[in-house]
Amino acid sequence: MRNLEEALEDIRFALLNGGDAVTPFLSLEPADQAQALEELSEEERDHIFANLDIGARASILEELPEDEAAELIEELSPAGIAEILDETSHDVAADILSQLPEAQATSTLKQMEDADEVRPLLQYPPESAGGLMTTVDLVLKKDQTAAEVIETIRAYEVDANSPYYLYVTNDAGKLVGVIGLRSLIVSQPSAKVEEFMVSDVHKINVLSDQEEVAQMMKKYRLALVPVVDSEDRLLGAIFSDDIAYILEEEATEDMYKLANISDTDIQVWSPVGFSIKRRLPWLVVNLATAFLAASVVYFFEETIQRAAILAAFLGIVAGQGGNNGSQTVAILIRGIALGQVELKDVREVLNKEILVCLVNGAVIGAAVGLGAWVWQGNPALGVVVALAMIMNMVVSGLAGTVIPLALKALRFDPAASSQVFLTTITDSLGFGLTLGLAAFAMWQFGVNF
């Protein structure tokens, strides 16, 4: 295997000097070829791709994200696309077709040899088990012997994508068992499949969500999982090498949502218009809540006129409450995603969380209070901000715990909106507590700040 960086230098050099860029490109294996293409400019990319044979093109499409794969071939004629997609695995072909314009996809499919295998895969949503699965070509029957099976495998055209597990179905097409190549090798040639197959098979329904698939394959460490319909008929299988991508996608999703981004498709290189459309809505939502918090401050306008210094501490009290709450939210979002916690645990989690926030609140509150006192030489100010801070920290911990669990219980996505609710609470409360306590001290005890 060539080193990607070296090869890229040779390729770029060849492209600049009209030399042969294809040979260094082909010295890479498909996964690196795909990455190399992503690093090249669009013209360079198209130039190289145009000079590859069908097989090489197909194996690159296998490695690219489906949208990029579609981009690479959308210029080609339906016949040309069909020729390539016939060489890719069926699930990849289906994923790419679903990215092409309706008309182009239809006419491409018409001209594909594997149309009959690929078409059924197109009917399932891309994030479902059906969207992830590929077709299973080699299916066994219970009464075949080990020797017969080995013969079938020999006769059968084997490629890197052929699985290490073979499924057994009955005449109705229902999944009745699975054998691994290992047990095949170690069993007597005359042994019947039913004698050494495992009949208690992990399987997943074709409509299950991809996250469910990923968590199941991860938990039971499955290299391959069979996909069945409601009648247990074998429809296809999902390879574990997709799981890493799914889990990363789901993790990115949660992380983005905490940062108020609603769409994982956004990444560094997304087009500007797309980024604006996906980022703006959340800013607008946050703006509404920000006005809510602002009205709390406005309510105390008179107080601030008399003690403008309070304005300097509003951000500290509100902000720290927000930071503390975000910590809690992040921990709960992750806990929910990994299935460690649900609504029924709320009291137990709260007890723990309140303790944590009381301690951290006391420390931070004391620090803020002392800071205010020393800075402004005004002990009363220190007491006010210290009290406001402690209360805001504890409430933010409560809110950070209850909000995600409640949203989850109400079947909303906890990651998506927890942060907005939290900020509204911590800001409004932070402002209100600080100014309210100060006002109270002023009007009741004639304290000055």
- The C-alpha R_g of the chain, in whole angstroms, comes to 30
3 burial level (CB within 10 Å; 0-12, 13-18, 19+):
exposed
Question: What's the min distance (Å) between Cβ of 341 and a second copy?
Answer: 5
For residues 234 to 253, the per-residue mask of contacts with a second copy, x marking binding by CB under 8 A and - elsewhere, is -----xxx-xxx-xx--xx-
- Residue 383, interface with a second copy (CB under 8 A)? no
Helix (H, G, I), strand (E, B) or coil at 297: helix
Helix (H, G, I), strand (E, B) or coil at 25: helix
For residues 136 to 175, the per-residue mask of contacts with a second copy, x marking binding by CB under 8 A and - elsewhere, is --------------x--xx---x---x-x-----------
For residues 87 to 126, the per-residue mask of contacts with a second copy, x marking binding by CB under 8 A and - elsewhere, is ----------------------------------------
Question: What's the min distance (Å) between Cβ of 309 and a second copy?
Answer: 6
Query: Quick one: 176 or 297, whose CB is closer to a second copy?
Result: 297
Query: Quick one: 140 or 316, whose CB is closer to a second copy?
Result: 316
- Residue 433, interface with a second copy (CB under 8 A)? no
- Residue 449, interface with a second copy (CB under 8 A)? no
Question: What's the min distance (Å) between Cβ of 421 and a second copy?
Answer: 14
Helix (H, G, I), strand (E, B) or coil at 390: helix
Residues 14 to 73: which contact a second copy by CB under 8 A?
Answer: 29, 31, 35
Task: Produce one character per residue of 208-224: b if its CB has 16 or more CB atoms within 10 Å, e if not.
Answer: eebeebbbbbeeeebeb
Instruction: Look up tokens 């890197």; give the residue.
Output: 160
Question: What's the min distance (Å) between Cβ of 407 and a second copy?
Answer: 16
Determine the Cα–Cα distance for residues 144 and 166; give it in Å rounded to an integer: 12
Nearest to 100 by CA among 60, 132, 59, 67: 67
- Residue 344, interface with a second copy (CB under 8 A)? no
Nearest to 328 by CA among 210, 241, 414: 414
- Residue 327, interface with a second copy (CB under 8 A)? yes
Nearest to 297 by CA among 305, 105, 329: 305
Query: Quick one: 108 or 187, whose CB is closer to a second copy?
Result: 187
Query: Quick one: 255 or 383, whose CB is closer to a second copy?
Result: 255
- Residue 185, interface with a second copy (CB under 8 A)? yes
- Cα angle at 406 between 402 and 409, to 5 degrees? 145
- Residue 396, interface with a second copy (CB under 8 A)? no
Query: Quick one: 55 or 65, whose CB is closer to a second copy?
Result: 65
Residues contacting a second copy: total by CB under 8 A: 109
- Residue 190, interface with a second copy (CB under 8 A)? no
- Using CB under 8 A, which of 23, 41, 190, 267 touches a second copy? 267
Four-residue CA torsion sign, 65, 71, 73, 78: positive
For residues 197 to 236, the per-residue mask of contacts with a second copy, x marking binding by CB under 8 A and - elsewhere, is ---x-x-----------x--xxxxx-x-------------
Beta-sheet strand order (sheet of 204-205): 204-205, 224-228, 234-239
For 352, phi then psi, to 5°, come to -65, -50
Write the DSSP symbol of residue 199: -
- Using CB under 8 A, which of 311, 343, 350, 447 touches a second copy? 311
- Using CB under 8 A, which of 45, 360, 379, 447 touches a second copy? 360
Query: Quick one: 28 or 82, whose CB is closer to a second copy?
Result: 28
Tell me the CA distances in angstroms from 365 to 384, 394, 397, one per residue in order.
10, 11, 15
Write the DSSP symbol of residue 307: -
Four-residue CA torsion sign, 152, 153, 158, 164: positive
Determine the Cα–Cα distance for residues 257 and 413; give it in Å rounded to an integer: 9
Residues 278 to 297: which contact a second copy by CB under 8 A?
Answer: 279-280, 282-284, 286-287, 290-291, 293-295, 297
Query: Quick one: 217 or 391, whose CB is closer to a second copy?
Result: 217
- Using CB under 8 A, which of 76, 147, 191, 309 touches a second copy? 309
